[in-house]
A and B are shown apart, each in its own frame.
Chain A
Amino acid sequence: EAGVAQSPRYKIIEKRQSVAFWCNPISGHATLYWYQQILGQGPKLLIQFQNNGVVDDSQLPKDRFSAERLKGVDSTLKIQPAKLEDSAVYLCASSSHSTWSPQETQYFGPGTRLLVL
């Protein structure tokens, strides 16, 4: 079974530029998550989708971050404009169960490392 795929793996941009990240979850997984992991910290949830609907985006900085999952499969996360403090690893995770299920386990992709100069 293929894992969660993410691209690009690395991205360097200047502040105020825009950037987009792509995630392809494990086949059949209805729930998809985007996390931000700043160096030296644990991942922090940005947004959670159930199929193509948003379940939780309370920690997404909506003035500059946006995310979509139009067909309930792939997802993109965009930052526009980027700030220096956005430098982090952006992790995508997916799960075959809803977050209310005891069986819910999240499986993570390799991440996209973003450096904002």
Chain B
Amino acid sequence: AQSVAQPEDQVNVAEGNPLTVKCTYSVSGNPYLFWYVQYPNRGLQFLLKYITGDNLVKGSYGFEAEFNKSQTSFHLKKPSALVSDSALYFCAVRPIKAAGNKLTFGGGTRVLVKP
């Protein structure tokens, strides 16, 4: 069965500093990997995804993520964080070929960007 681990419940960073949100996954075969962001009282917003090809994926709002197959990781990064980036971030994995093929989410990481 597939799973996603987000080892940090919360990440605190000062505005203007680099932001990293960690994600590791376990899946049979090759994965599709996703990052979503959730603002208070709102649904999940799609940020970016990795399908194949270049290991560095660029997404919305200046975010990017790096796929590392050997470490089974897909960390989310932003070079310079904004206060408005404060939200809940979810990593998710879907196997490329598997019965059910459903999207499995991690537990989420709360990001707090301080002015």
Contacts and interface: CB of A to CB of B under 8 A. Distances in A.
Given A42-B106, A42-B107, A102 B32 contact: yes
A42 B108 CA distance: 6
Interface residues of B, number: 26
Interface residues of A, number: 26
B49 to A, nearest CB: 6
B107 A41 contact: yes
B91 to A, nearest CB: 9
Q: Which of A43, A105, A108, A113 has the most CB of B within 10 A?
A: A43
A44 B105 contact: yes
Contact of A43 (B42, B51, B105): B105
B78 to A, nearest CB: 20
B17 interface: no
Closest 7 CB pairs of A and B: A42-B105, A108-B43, A108-B44, A99-B101, A110-B43, A102-B51, A45-B102
Interface of B: 4, 32, 34, 36, 41-46, 49, 51-52, 90, 92, 94, 96-97, 100-103, 105-108
Given A42-B106, A45-B103, 16 more contacts: A41-B107, A42-B4, A42-B90, A42-B105, A42-B108, A43-B44, A56-B100, A99-B94, A102-B51, A102-B96, A106-B103, A108-B45, A109-B43, A110-B41, A111-B42, A113-B41
